[in-house]
Structure 1
Amino acid sequence: MRFSSDEGEQRYDAVVGVASRTVVGLDFDGTLAPIVEDPAKAHIHPAAGEALVELAAEVAAIAVITGRPARQALDLGGLEEVGDALQAAGKELFVFGQYGNERWSSGRRRILGARPPRGLATFERDLPRTLRLAGASEAFVEDKGLAVAVHTRRLPDSEEAFERLLPPMRELARAHGLVLEPGRSVIEVRSAGSHKGMVVNRLAAVLDAEGFVFAGDDLGDVEAFEAVDELGRQGLATLRVCSASDEQSALVEMSDVVVRGPDGVLDFLRGLAADARARR
């Protein structure tokens, strides 16, 4: 774990001091699960479940906030079993899928979601032509129900294809009333009006949090980092944790703590639990 500054270390100490009233938000891919070529095989780190259960004993609640469909995150993360363990300990696990458009909790046990956005069907109809003109016809297209993600990781010129696709896909999304979200070798198109920062604010308000920690790894987490920063200005104890990689460094400058990938995230969560336990 590396603090970005003396202020980052002070913020960590403040969070430890109010751990029992702190909400911990976590991205899924690149934070709890290693990035892999096939998104359907992005299983959670094998030690994550145990670390989350350990942490839950010291904090108010844990939330997984992801661009994935909630059902995918639940299945790939074994999160229903983690939720069972938290519920038995009197704590709650929340899973927000598709940037907050889907919600699940260990207390309610069912996924609540929105309808597919207007324009998504016609966007999908026009997408193959856009991919073809950009020389990326072989890109993997993932239909998420409420969004569409185009993965370039499997292409031989992955980074170049990603850069080629950004402008035409952004224009296509705009033409259909949708927004574009770039990630690590993936470009996602979805409805406007919901993002991870909104989920952070909602959780902080509903749970009457005194502290908020969020860990993420790429551009899809920027709004969450910004929301956490604003909560800090409002007087909450806050901490922004970057799961850094060689592929993406956009969050490093916004972070209070920088760790290395999911292994580093889990080490951080264990350390937070241990320090909170010692402070009790």
Structure 2
Amino acid sequence: MEFTSAAGEQKYAALVRVAAETIVGLDFDGTLSPIVDDPAAAHIHPDAGEVLLELASQVAAIAVITGRPARAALDLGGLEEVGNAIGDAGKELYLFGQYGNERWSSTNRRVIGPRPPVGLASFERELPRLLRRLDAAAAHVEDKVLSVAIHTRRLPDPEAAFARLLPELESLAARHDLVVEPGRNVVEVRSAGVHKGLVVERLVEDLHAGGFLFAGDDLGDLEAFDAVDALAKDGLPTLLVCSASDEESALVARADVVVHGPEGVLALLRQLAADARDLRA
């Protein structure tokens, strides 16, 4: 891991001291699983289950906060099995899907979520015509039930297609009272009012956290970074981790620690667990 400043190293040491009261928040894609062309093939890193179970013994709780539907993240990550093991050990794993609209936990082992937003069906009916008009008919459209994601990764020039689509999708979404969440070569359209930052705030309040670590990789994690920054200003020990890659580094300037992809994230979490255990010994 690479600290972005001396202050980042100090923040890590402070978090280790309050590890038993700390919540560890983790994005899924690009953080626990590698980014791949087919979202349905984005399986969690093979070492993640072991690392999360080890980490859970040293912290207050672990929360995976993702834009994916909760059921998809559970299945791709094997997180239901991991969560059950964590729950059986008397600890807690939360999974928040669709930016917090859905919730699963190792205590309440079922997915709870709302109905799809009213304007989503109308948006989806108009979407194919917009994609054809912008020469992006081959974009992969992922129906997440509560939202829809338009991926440009498979197009000949993904970045140019993303830049071309984003303002048009924002306009169409606004007409249906929806909001957009830009990510790495993907634009997600969903209902307003819930985002990763709110999940962070609620977790701290509900669990009376004494510290918070959040690891993410792209623009969809900015609101969580903002929420953690606000907690730090209020005096809570915090650590922001950027899972950087060759194609995405949007959060590097905001992070206290920069690691390379899921392997780097898991190495940091393994180190945190070890340092917290050694401090208690």
TM-score by length of 2: 0.99
Does residue 272 in structure 1 map to residue 269 in structure 2? Answer: no
Does residue 103 in structure 1 map to residue 94 in structure 2? Answer: no
Instruction: Name the counterpart of 1:186.
Output: 186
What pairs up with 1:1-280 in 2 under 5 angstroms?
A: 1-280=1-280
Residue identity matched to 2:20: S
Question: How far apart, in 2, do the equivalents of 1:157 and 1:5 lie?
Answer: 35
Encode CA deviations 1:5-50: one digit per residue, 9 max, x unaligned. Answer: 1111111001000000000000000000000010001000000000
User: Secondary structure at 2:155's aligned position in 1?
Assistant: coil
CA deviation after TM superposition for structure 1 residue 160, in Å: 1.2
User: Secondary structure at 2:160's aligned position in 1?
Assistant: helix
Question: How far apart, in 2, do the equivalents of 1:195 and 1:127 lie?
Answer: 23
Residue identity matched to 1:45: H
User: Secondary structure at 1:275's aligned position in 2?
Assistant: helix
Encode CA deviations 1:65-90: one digit per residue, 9 max, x unaligned. Answer: 00000000000000011011101211
CA deviation after TM superposition for structure 1 residue 156, in Å: 1.5
Q: Percent identity?
A: 70
Question: How far apart, in 1, do the equivalents of 2:246 and 2:170 lie?
Answer: 25
User: Secondary structure at 1:201's aligned position in 2?
Assistant: helix
CA deviation after TM superposition for structure 1 residue 158, in Å: 1.4
Encode CA deviations 1:210-254: one digit per residue, 9 max, x unaligned. Answer: 000000000000000010111111121100000001222111111
User: Secondary structure at 2:192's aligned position in 1?
Assistant: coil
Question: How far apart, in 2, do the equivalents of 1:235 and 1:279 lie?
Answer: 22
TM-score by length of 1: 0.99
Question: How far apart, in 1, do the equivalents of 2:125 and 2:68 lie?
Answer: 22
CA deviation after TM superposition for structure 1 residue 100, in Å: 0.2
Encode CA deviations 1:135-154: one digit per residue, 9 max, x unaligned. Answer: 00010100000000001111
Residue identity matched to 2:172: L
CA deviation after TM superposition for structure 1 residue 162, in Å: 1.0
Residue identity matched to 1:238: T
Structure 2 spans left out of the alignment, 5+ residues = none
Residue identity matched to 2:270: R
| Segments of 4+ moved more than 6 angstroms | none
User: Secondary structure at 1:72's aligned position in 2?
Assistant: helix
Structure 1 spans left out of the alignment, 5+ residues = none
User: Secondary structure at 1:170's aligned position in 2?
Assistant: helix
CA deviation after TM superposition for structure 1 residue 56, in Å: 0.5
